[in-house]
Amino acid sequence: MSDLTHLSLRKLRRLMISGEVRPEEVTAAFLARAEARNSCDLSYVSIGAEHALSRAGMVEQAGALGRLAGIPFSCKDVFDTVTLPTTAGSRVMHDYRPLRDARALQRLEAAGAILLGKNNLHEFCYGITGANPIFGTPANPHDPGRLAGGSSSGSAVAVANRTAMFALGTDTGGSVRVPASLCGLVGFKPTRGQISLKGVVPFCWSLDHVGILARSCGDATEVFLAVREADEAILAANADHAERGNSLHGLRIGVPRGAYLENVASDIALRVQQLIAECRRLGAHIVEVVMPDATHVRTASLAVQLVEAFAWHRTNLQRRFDLYGEDVREGLLQGQFILAEHYVQALRLIAAKQAEVSERLKDIDVLMTPTTPVVAPELDQRRVTLAGVEVPVGNALSHFTCLFNLTGHPALSVPIGRDGDGLPVGLQLIGAHHRDTKLLSIGTALERAGLAGWIEPNDEMDDGVCMAPTRSEQRELHTH
């Protein structure tokens, strides 16, 4: 049989249900690949091979029951686990020992999924680039000299490099959708609260979301249906849209009016415009939408993030100051200087933007934007130029994603091709609150129409070549 890591989630499930392959075989295939590649791509902080194989054996003995039975996955190292360390990408957490697994992982285990290991990340999720001076910076699978995006960097790299079937990440300003876009994957941030944050090391309680990284919207849907937390009314509302993915015909797609694409790299703007034209040709209705004023969105997001992050880290900053990475430590300390008035005003702006976005979505099925205005920046790049203006890389990468963490709407990034240098381009789809399955089905419709789909990297490692700086090489660069 061909390499099991190449198959889709649903194909693997069918093979295991029919008995053609065993859960232990599938788990062993992903583990072998993960262990072979990790010194190069730095996607894992820890791999639990023994426990994973044991769990696969238990799933097999139980008859491979459950929606995700036998499917290997990984998670960002902010999810509490009893069998593996939980570091949040930091030395600060070296002695942290959770008493139980995170709620989302419990739900995946109940569905039969197999946890392979914990993924690398930007320390404490404090950054959109994915850089980590302690565990190394995961390399972009399409160009090892470029960033994979963050903060869920390792999770994206693991899925793109086929060392996990899917991965859980977290998203506070774009930290699932941005690495998905830069790595050619599907990145799904559900409606806030649809996946439990219980047992997840927080960054910002008000804006954190758990998200899913996968190779297709179909795979992401299977994971979401297994892991979501929802009451019966929400489940019923979503059920009406479960089969929407068959066609784009009649779909009402909202696109930003005016000069919204001017601050976007030309290749990205072109891909988005081509996709919109194809959707129209296939029978979709394109509706121009006036976007909410985003002038103060990033400021409001930072005000809430810094205050809430400082509140959580206050004790550790006093006791373990030197264990923090310099960029994270300096950022967190800013939180103590934000006044209560600023925090309250930020929350008021967030409420206003939530209402504005909901109003825009009343007359359309989905809102469509680029995921990022640029493709993957180089590893050491600090600024990018948009419409002739230089801006910090982090500001650019979260330009289109940040708003929808404030509003809590479900948002999905799907890959829609490459730029002129062969780097992935992502498209962001935003839906109404609690229409998560509808949004995923629209992504599936784009895939079925050939307008979106996983962009597989060139597999340099299959030839025994590691093009990215190793973890030890990166540490030398950070110390000189």
Catalytic positions, written as ranges = 76, 151, 175
If one counts every other C-beta atom within 10 angstroms of the C-beta of residue 323, the result is 15
C-beta of residue 214 within 8 angstroms of C-beta of residue 166: yes
Q: Which residues contact 77 (CB under 8 A, 6 or more apart)?
A: 45, 46, 85, 86, 87, 88, 89, 118, 119, 120, 121, 154
C-beta of residue 23 within 8 angstroms of C-beta of residue 60: yes
- Which tokens go with 394? 């982090």
Distance separating alpha carbons of residues 118 and 34, to the nearest angstrom: 11
Distance separating alpha carbons of residues 383 and 150, to the nearest angstrom: 16
- Sign, Cα dihedral of 39, 42, 43, 46: positive
Orientation angle between helical segments 436-448 and 217-227, nearest 10 degrees: 160
Q: Mapping DSSP to helix (H, G, I), strand (E, B) and coil, where does residue 390 land?
A: strand
Distance separating alpha carbons of residues 178 and 172, to the nearest angstrom: 11
Distance separating alpha carbons of residues 185 and 413, to the nearest angstrom: 8
Q: Which letter does DSSP use for residue 461 in this model?
A: G
Question: Using CB atoms within 10 A of its CB, is residue 29 exposed (0-12), middle (13-18) or buried (19+)?
Answer: buried
Amino acid letter, residue 89: G
